Amino acid sequence: MMNFADRLIDAIRKKKSCVCVGLDPRLDLIPQEIVHQYDIFDYDINIQAGYVIRDFCNAVIDAVADDAVAVKPQSAFFEQYGWPGVQALEQIVNYAQQKGLLVILDVKRSDIASTAEAYAKAFFKGRDISADAITVNPYLGMDSLEPFIKLCTDEGKGLFVLVKTSNPGSKDFQDALLQDNRKLYELVAEKVGQAGQKLVGKEGYSSIGAVVGATFPQEAETIRKLMPKTIFLVPGYGAQGAKAEDLKDYFNTDGLGVIINASRSIIFAGAKSTNWQGEIKKAAKEMKEEIGRVTRKA
Amino acid sequence: MMNFADRLIDAIRKKKSCVCVGLDPRLDLIPQEIVHQYDIFDYDINIQAGYVIRDFCNAVIDAVADDAVAVKPQSAFFEQYGWPGVQALEQIVNYAQQKGLLVILDVKRSDIASTAEAYAKAFFKGRDISADAITVNPYLGMDSLEPFIKLCTDEGKGLFVLVKTSNPGSKDFQDALLQDNRKLYELVAEKVGQAGQKLVGKEGYSSIGAVVGATFPQEAETIRKLMPKTIFLVPGYGAQGAKAEDLKDYFNTDGLGVIINASRSIIFAGAKSTNWQGEIKKAAKEMKEEIGRVTRKA
């Protein structure tokens, strides 16, 4: 299979978009017309939830397929409904891929290599799903990433390693000041960037990307210098407060190297509207255009 | 519900054991008599795997219930079989609790607070399962742990935060040298220890524990000084190379404060034997006795 970074850059060029839509379904914000399809039956509450979030996410996928390059299902919002939630997750991963979207499964997993191998199987080589990329946490060290990197090499998969996250508490450890005057996230950026060298595709970007929160533009500038060939997955747009103009320095001079994720501001854009699917489509399109106006090149 | 640390210490005293058995099922090492119960049917391969790992783990639980205080299912080994694996995980969590074992779900999750809340619901407040404790990764910072800590306070749950993991690569970031001459894991130990102060139970231990690998005794001594009231969950015993005598300094002077996990060396002790359940029981009992000989008090 083609290098993940090449597949992603290809989609970005074709759709003129670097929008990633986060699929974080919350039952209380899902249109009642979907909920009512299932609450007439005497289903187990988790099984009912599984059907509802599946149908909602599939409708979101339909609405954003033209304007987004990827969707990022947040595993926690599915796992909270137990195995029926995980079944729903598997179904929407497949549906999004059928609709031509790349799927970045947001699982932020981390474990020692022998266990990471089982996670790699779970998300990349399962009989039922094969995500295009996943998010991972680097705290356990580079050997813990090896089983995932192997599937990036062998099967065209992608990784986004947490470098600097969008939450305020990211300062606690990610900003820890090292003896060489750098912060921890700079060391992580350096090592992850090095590991990514081997996976640089034809477009000049690596299949090993980095998560860099939209709420820290200064840090992003530093990280960009350390990781010029790295695609940043940028969460925190919209509901978490970041705007398009904050994100200029996340991009490379070629206008590439970034995908920006918004979840709540897109998928619940129509929560109170009868035309909710239309509102979701509109929100995704507007986000694409807002970002397009500030990137250095088209 | 009673404070988690008190429940754990209570179990340790009653069973005179600090053995935790890791449930990391691997299909190729599961006795054929279990596999053959299901391979005669035309099941989907993941559904079949789900049944097999459920039955095997339940048999392990039966075999170790007298000598272990807790089991630690490793989520990855269930997730690799998709939703049927997750369904099996839910079933064995409930079965272990019925058999009087505490369940530490090894998920090593990490996310921003709004997402961590969904994970907390998934593992602690699901309709179908309610683990006693889970493992979490601190890289995102203390705010990412808050939703879990809340359920430790409100519902008697426990956490084990990764501090120093057992793998060689743990040096990459956990050992990063900070400007104040400490290593990163010491900063993590300090902050996690502070957060745990509020959750110290009657026995003098906190419900917020730490993961400290059995392969790093020197580091454990340092961490013990920083976290005197913290229970260490110690992986790496047995198959990963650590022996009982390596673990002396992990314990507090009261002979408490530690649970030691072994996975492969217990659950596959009888892989080639017809009396495999007996071999598993024997391996758990021997581990309990070996550790008992080196702890400072009984």
CA A101 to CA A103: how far, in whole Å? Answer: 6
Q: Which residues of A touch B181 (CB under 8 A)?
A: 179
B239/A contact by beta carbon, under 8 A: no
Q: Which two tokens stand for residue B256?
A: 């408490």
Q: Mean pLDDT across the stretch A116-138?
A: 95
pLDDT tens per residue across span A140-158: 999 999 999 999 999 999 9
Question: Residues 6 or more apart from B44 whose CB is under 8 A from it?
Answer: A127, B84
The ipTM is 0.96
Q: Mean pLDDT across the stretch A73-101?
A: 98
**What pLDDT band is residue B238 in, cutting at 50, 70 and 90?**
confident
Question: Which of A47, A140, A149 would best serve as a mutation to test chain B binding (most B beta carbons within 10 A)?
Answer: A140
pLDDT tens per residue across span B7-57: 999 999 999 999 999 999 999 999 999 999 998 777 889 999 999 999 999
Per-residue pLDDT at B297 exceeds 60: no
Per-residue pLDDT at A136 exceeds 80: yes
Closest Cβ opposite residue B46 in set A118, A128, A142 = A128
How many other C-beta atoms can be found within 10 angstroms of the C-beta atom of residue A272? 10
Shortest CA distance from A121: residue in chain B: B80
Look at phi and psi of residue B255 and say left if phi exceeds 0, alpha if psi is from -120 to 50, else beta. left
pLDDT tens per residue across span A243-274: 888 898 899 989 999 999 999 999 999 888 89
B82/A contact by beta carbon, under 8 A: yes
CA A70 to CA A201: how far, in whole Å? Answer: 19
In the block, tokens 């002979």 appear at: B255
B111/A contact by beta carbon, under 8 A: yes
**What pLDDT band is residue A296 in, cutting at 50, 70 and 90?**
low
Q: Which residues of A touch B94 (CB under 8 A)?
A: none
B263/A contact by beta carbon, under 8 A: no
Question: Which of B78, B114, B215 would best serve as a mutation to test chain A binding (most A beta carbons within 10 A)?
Answer: B114
- Judge whether A99 counts as a catalytic residue: no
pLDDT confidence of residue B142? 98
**What pLDDT band is residue B298 in, cutting at 50, 70 and 90?**
very low
Question: Which of A24, A172, A188, A219 would best serve as a mutation to test chain B binding (most B beta carbons within 10 A)?
Answer: A172
Q: Mean pLDDT across the stretch A193-209?
A: 98
Q: Mean pLDDT across the stretch A196-210?
A: 98
pLDDT confidence of residue B296? 53
**pLDDT > 70 in chain B, percent:** 99
Q: Mean pLDDT across the stretch B1-12?
A: 96
Per-residue pLDDT at A298 exceeds 50: no
| pTM of the predicted protein model | 0.97
Q: Which residues of A touch B45 (CB under 8 A)?
A: 127
pLDDT confidence of residue B41? 76
State the SS3 of chain B: CCCHHHHHHHHHHHHCCCEEEEECCCHHHCCHHHHHHHHCCCCCHHHHHHHHHHHHHHHHHHHHCCCCCEEEEEHHHHHCCHHHHHHHHHHHHHHHHHCCCEEEEEEEECCCHHHHHHHHHHHHCCCCCCCCEEEECCCCCHHHCHHHHHHHHHHCCEEEEEEECCCHHHHHHHCCEECCCCEHHHHHHHHHHHHHHHHECCCCCECEEEEECCCCHHHHHHHHHHCCCCCEEECCECCCCECHHHHHHHCCCCCCCEEEEECHHHHCCCCCCCCHHHHHHHHHHHHHHHHHHHCCCC
pLDDT tens per residue across span B165-215: 999 999 999 999 999 999 999 999 999 999 999 999 999 999 999 999 999
A176/B contact by beta carbon, under 8 A: yes
- Which of the residues B16, B72, B99, B108 is marked catalytic? B108
Q: Which residues of B touch A139 (CB under 8 A)?
A: 110, 137-139, 162, 165, 173-174
CA B55 to CA B71: how far, in whole Å? Answer: 15
Closest Cβ opposite residue A138 in set B87, B108, B173 = B173
